[in-house]
Amino acid sequence: MPPTATLEDIKAHQLKIEKGKITSDNLPPCPCCSVASEFFKIHAYRERRFLIIIEMLIKAAYCSLVRFICPGCGKTITHYPDFAIPHKHYTLPTITGFSTSYVESENMTYQQAVMVDNSVPGYPESDSTEAPTLAPSTIHRWVTTLGGFTQTCRTALILLLQENPVSSICRDLARLIIPQRKYKTENRKKQLDGCRQMLMIEAFFRSSFNTSIFTKLATRCGFS
């Protein structure tokens, strides 16, 4: 089965919101004026539609996200649960799962990357407004997104080397190779490389700090 956040994960987040358990305490300080996050006020609740994959069917699940406002400058900052990233309806496990199988395989095409056990996750018939199945171009976009967390990766790398100066991570990153058949332009090569690096840094980060670079560190880096 393709990885996905579960309906329970999404319901649990909604319940936390309803019980007032989502606070700004874990957010980084305001990126504009450095006011500490504990002073942020709740600004709005925005309903978000997430897409999760249950038994090869793509289903919508809804929950709110909390948006905080900085009292210093009025900047609004969205709190993301660990299964979500900005501008994406699919959940982080799905995005990283499919992207990993594409970038870490030497020969896989995008058409093959959407396949799971010889079939492609699809939308139920009733949901006819959507594309009928997960599209290869979606995986292409996910790789682009994951390859774009340059600042987050750079910061994570610094933290990893502070924690373990003799870590093999720099050597391991330098060894990553993107097969030539996977790109036609230097720009795409850079995105593929960025995506592979991000996935490796995430794995090291999880084993060193027992947490993901998403979403606290990524939030602090403005998801860049």
Chain positions contacting Zn ion, by CB under 5 A: 30, 32-33, 35, 70, 72-73, 75
Looking at the Cβ atoms of 74 and 132, the one nearer to Zn ion is 74
Cβ of residue 155: shortest distance to Zn ion, in angstroms?
20
Cβ of residue 44: shortest distance to Zn ion, in angstroms?
16
Looking at the Cβ atoms of 6 and 23, the one nearer to Zn ion is 23
Cβ of residue 76: shortest distance to Zn ion, in angstroms?
10
Picking from 2, 192, 196, the residue whose alpha carbon sits closest to that of residue 115 is 2
Cβ of residue 153: shortest distance to Zn ion, in angstroms?
25
Looking at the Cβ atoms of 15 and 33, the one nearer to Zn ion is 33
Looking at the Cβ atoms of 27 and 157, the one nearer to Zn ion is 27
Q: Is 32 in contact with 64 (CB distance < 8 Å)?
A: no
Q: How does DSSP assign the chain, residue by residue?
A: ------HHHHHHHHHHHHTT---STTSPPPTTT---GGG-EEEEEEEEEEEEEETTEEEEEEEEEEEEE-TTT--EEEE--TT--TT-SB-HHHHHHHHHHHHTSSS--HHHHT-BTTB--B--TT-TTS-SB--HHHHHHHHHHHTT-HHHHHHHHHHHHHH-TT-SHHHHHHT----GGG-SSHHHHHHHHHHHHHHHHHHHHHHHHSS-STTHHHHHTTT-
Cβ of residue 70: shortest distance to Zn ion, in angstroms?
3
Cβ of residue 84: shortest distance to Zn ion, in angstroms?
23
